[in-house]
Amino acid sequence: MSPVTDHRVSRRTFVTWSGVAGGSAALVATAAHLGMPSRATASPTGREVDKTVWNSCLVNCGSRCVLRFEVKDGTIVRELPDSSGTNEIVDPQLRPCVRGRSLRRRVYDPNRIKKPMRRKPGTLRGAGEWEEISWDEAMETIASEYKRIVSTYGQESIYNQYASGVTGGNIILGSWSRLLSQMGGYVGWYGSYSTSQITRSMPFMYGKRFESNSIADSKHSKLVIYWGNNPVETRMSGGNNMWSAQKTRADHGVRTIVIDPRYSDTAVTIADEWIPIAPGTDAALVAALAYVMITEDLHDQEFLDTYCVGFDEDHMPDGAPAHASYRSYVEGLGPDGTVKTPEWASEITGIPADRIRSLAREIAEAKPCSILQGWGIQRQANGEYSCRAIMILPLLTGNVGINGGGNGSREGTIPFPLARFGGENPILTKIPSFKWSEAIDHGTELTATKDGIQGRDALETNFKMMFNIAGNITMNQHSDLNATREILLDETKCELIVTVDTHMCASAQYSDIVLPSTTNAEEVDFIGSEYAGDTAYAIYVDQAIAPLHDTKSHYDMCTLLAEKMGMKEEFTEGRTQEEWRSHLIEETRAAVPDLWSEEEFREKGVFRINNPEGTFVANRDFREDPSANPLETPSGLIEIYSQQLAEMAEEWEFPNPLPGDVLIPLPEYVPTWEGVEEARTNETYPLQCIGHHFKGRTHSSYATIDWTVEAHPQRIWISTEDAAARGIANGDLIEVFNDRGRISSPALVTPRIVPGVISVPQGAWYDLKDGIDQGGCINTLTKIHASPLSKGNPQHTNLVQVVKA
């Protein structure tokens, strides 16, 4: 393996190969709140309309973009963007991306589910054989089956599936969790498919998960590194970090580097340099950077001595073995005996050793330096160690808790203190979100020390009834879909699957009862921002049109089911959905006294809160006085070496382990199953396969909407070198396969991806025909084998082969 020369493209650099986001801050309300009346008689476009209402796109990208629907004769005739805010990072216009601008197409999509449906008796799940039923029959069936299953198997046989299709909602999102909690509860989940590894592992360093400094704070930096972080595509829009990243770069011109297997749109639009890296090898690069800093005395020893545990042998917890520090690991004094030189890391990562040396010096000498890592890094079989390793670099350089620096996690934000709708689940048992299919198949075999079960030493029953609310996890976003399909086809395992959705997605196809929900354009809500940077906000979501077809809102469905269960009054408390919105606005006013009256809110649409400190800085209090503001770790300091993990390693079990199935106290580089080392020796499946987030979809939402499909068709990224070796031209139909499955999609032949790696845009709908997934869903290829600590999804760790179809 030998990386070769740099090639210059404009002011940006990329290397070709040969061979181979939390915390708290005081909040203040902004004085400028601009808006357009929601009951307008004239459109900004000059057309006569009956009304214009405020609304939002609520899918799970982290944005909460503002939409304004123009309505004429009960029909949405035009969708407009936010008319409030400014063209600055503070008080930005919350402009929707291509997905949000397609919401009207989603509302009127002819493929929407129009009536409640039941799988025809005697047919298999996934066969597409349905019969329409009434709402009364649907709710009566669900209620009676629920009672039967709980009576037979116990309350913990009920599972409320991890789902994210309406993550942005409040009443919309909380209705089902509220009702199911009141019905006796259900086994919950922790972690997420997005962030399980980082949310589970970062607390061993910091005591809790902290986001890093905000993107806008990088205006104070001398160098910004987006490490596997692609906000220009994953968090598009004016209401999210794409705008912050582009605006900060344009206004302040801070040198920017992207480290990623793909030359992403973030690299294209805001970076000076792209450093390509083999997937899953980030911790090896960090170790080599640390080696250069240590051997050239570029590290901040004073910061490490003051704020950290575990960097060197003089600062280890009691009872730790000799040579267990991170410095000993880097210098080859630890158990593996390997010195982590740039040459060592170059063989693993594919980055030239000289570039590793110069990068180490550049990071160490840039005062301050901001390193913002994305979440794709931690969705690997060794993800827990990779994400913690990147957080080592701000410690070595003393950049934590200051403007322009950060802790090496994902970019931070300030929250909006929104009153939430929902209920408290009385059942404390939880599973890792990735473990649900195993809980259906062999749930009673899952334990705390083997599978990460919380609240019990082991599950007391398999899952027998599953509620899938606005989610496409079950047969799309989960791993090894062909194996998952076999589990779901066996009705003796999970006896009833209820799905609530707007469209007949792949997961709905593998259900028993499907309930058609309204879109948010057809109901009311009150929502808040999630990843909004230094301006948090709330949006007044108003009903634009009456529910289409025979659909109902989530709240109204739950009211019907609550009535069947004899608990309508407990669920509703005598309020309609609109009355709950009014109540939540009043509850929020306790935390935000300047919040408008509801009528003023209805008129203006968006209420903003700005960070009084200007930009968010994570861990500032700890940096200023670690004694007065200790972290929630055993030492009160940042723990590079975790004694807790060392003790857990003695207790946890890994039956039939694969390479990488280990718990270790340091964020070391851990080779794994189907990692880069195996790729270089596996003649059958020689390519690493990752999946990138995609502009045409938010996960699988918007996957079949005509505008987004036309603008962003599904194409599999393959390097020019790998395509040529297989006789593949750009646009050719190709097949990607391994022992788990086979998918088919057109090829995007490009120099924008590392040779030896392909990338499949994630979220395409699973569509199995003649043994081939014609939809091109990456999870036909991924493995059900959880990462070691969080038991999270390792969906960027796969080996495959590619052929021309």
Q: Is the dihedral of CA 80, 83, 86, 91 positive or negative?
A: negative
Q: What CA–CA distances, in Å, run from 314 to 326, 328, 644, 645?
A: 11, 11, 19, 20
Q: How confident is the model at residue 62 (pLDDT cuts 50, 70, 90)?
A: confident
**E-only strand ranges, 414-534:** 430-432, 465-469, 496-501, 513-516, 525-528
Angle between helices 135-153 and 554-564 (to 10 degrees): 60
Both 636 and 680 in one domain: the answer is: no
pTM (2 d.p.) = 0.93
Between 68-72, 139-143, 529-533, the lowest mean confidence (pLDDT) is in 529-533
d(CA 781, CA 737): 7
**Who's near 135: CB < 8 A, 6+ residues apart?**
116, 550, 552, 560
Angle between helices 282-295 and 353-365 (to 10 degrees): 70
Both 770 and 623 in one domain: the answer is: no
Both 711 and 622 in one domain: the answer is: no
d(CA 477, CA 565): 32
> 65 and 96 in contact (C-beta within 8 Å)?
yes
Q: How confident is the model at residue 44 (pLDDT cuts 50, 70, 90)?
A: low
> 26 and 77 in contact (C-beta within 8 Å)?
no
Whether residue 441 lies inside any domain: the answer is no
**Who's near 777: CB < 8 A, 6+ residues apart?**
476, 481, 506, 743, 763, 764, 765, 766, 767
Residue 439: left if φ>0, alpha if ψ -120 to 50, beta else—which one? alpha
Cis before 81 (ω within 30): no
> 643 and 637 in contact (C-beta within 8 Å)?
no
Give the residue-averaged pLDDT of 96-104: 92
Q: Is the dihedral of CA 595, 597, 598, 604 positive or negative?
A: negative
Whether residue 182 lies inside any domain: the answer is no
**Who's near 305: CB < 8 A, 6+ residues apart?**
314, 315
Residue 456: phi, psi to the nearest 5? -150, 155
Q: How confident is the model at residue 241 (pLDDT cuts 50, 70, 90)?
A: confident
pLDDT at residue 45, as a whole number: 65
- Strands 606-610 and 535-541 come out as antiparallel
Give the residue-averaged pLDDT of 546-562: 98
**Who's near 166: CB < 8 A, 6+ residues apart?**
58, 59, 172, 173, 469, 470, 520, 554
Percent of the chain with pLDDT over 90: 88
Q: What CA–CA distances, in Å, run from 716 to 547, 694, 725?
A: 38, 11, 16
Both 624 and 708 in one domain: the answer is: no
d(CA 653, CA 451): 8
Report the CATH number that the domain containing residue 729 is assigned in CATH: 2.40.40.20
Whether residue 506 lies inside any domain: the answer is no
d(CA 781, CA 799): 9
**Which comes out higher in pLDDT, residue 228 or 18?**
228
**E-only strand ranges, 161-254:** 188-190, 223-227
The amino acid sitting at 717 is W
| Coil, strand or helix at 172 | helix
pLDDT at residue 398, as a whole number: 98
For residue 778, pLDDT over 70 is answered with: yes
Whether residue 420 lies inside any domain: the answer is no
Both 636 and 696 in one domain: the answer is: no
Both 631 and 753 in one domain: the answer is: no
| Coil, strand or helix at 770 | coil
Number of structural domains found in the chain: 2
Residue 564: how many other CB atoms lie within 10 Å: 18
> 478 and 786 in contact (C-beta within 8 Å)?
no
Both 246 and 348 in one domain: the answer is: yes
Cα 739 off chain centre by: 27
Residue 186: phi, psi to the nearest 5? -155, 160
Whether residue 716 lies inside any domain: the answer is yes
Query: 573, exposed or middle or buried, with CB in 10 Å at 0-12, 13-18, 19+?
Result: exposed
Whether residue 749 lies inside any domain: the answer is yes
The amino acid sitting at 190 is Y
d(CA 765, CA 773): 9
- Strands 273-275 and 12-15 come out as parallel
For residue 297, pLDDT over 90 is answered with: yes
| Mean pLDDT estimate for the chain | 93
Between 114-118, 135-139, 528-532, the lowest mean confidence (pLDDT) is in 528-532
Both 631 and 777 in one domain: the answer is: no
- Specify the long-range contacts of residues 633-639, CB closer than 8 Å, at least 24 apart: 633/204, 633/205, 633/206, 633/207, 633/309, 634/317, 635/309, 635/317, 637/307, 637/308, 637/309, 638/205, 638/206, 638/307, 638/308, 638/309, 638/395, 638/400, 639/204, 639/205, 639/308, 639/309, 639/310, 639/317
pLDDT at residue 540, as a whole number: 97
Which tokens hold the place of 709? 């499909």
pLDDT at residue 494, as a whole number: 98
Both 329 and 237 in one domain: the answer is: yes
| Coil, strand or helix at 114 | coil
Both 623 and 758 in one domain: the answer is: no
Residue 693: phi, psi to the nearest 5? -65, 155
Report the CATH number that the domain containing residue 313 is assigned in CATH: 3.40.228.10
For residue 528, pLDDT over 90 is answered with: yes
Both 624 and 694 in one domain: the answer is: no
For residue 117, pLDDT over 90 is answered with: yes
Whether residue 51 lies inside any domain: the answer is no
Q: What CA–CA distances, in Å, run from 451 to 454, 463, 468, 675?
A: 9, 15, 22, 22
Q: How confident is the model at residue 478 (pLDDT cuts 50, 70, 90)?
A: very high
Domain containing 725 equals 676-804
Both 321 and 370 in one domain: the answer is: yes
Give the residue-averaged pLDDT of 44-54: 86
Which tokens hold the place of 428? 């404390």
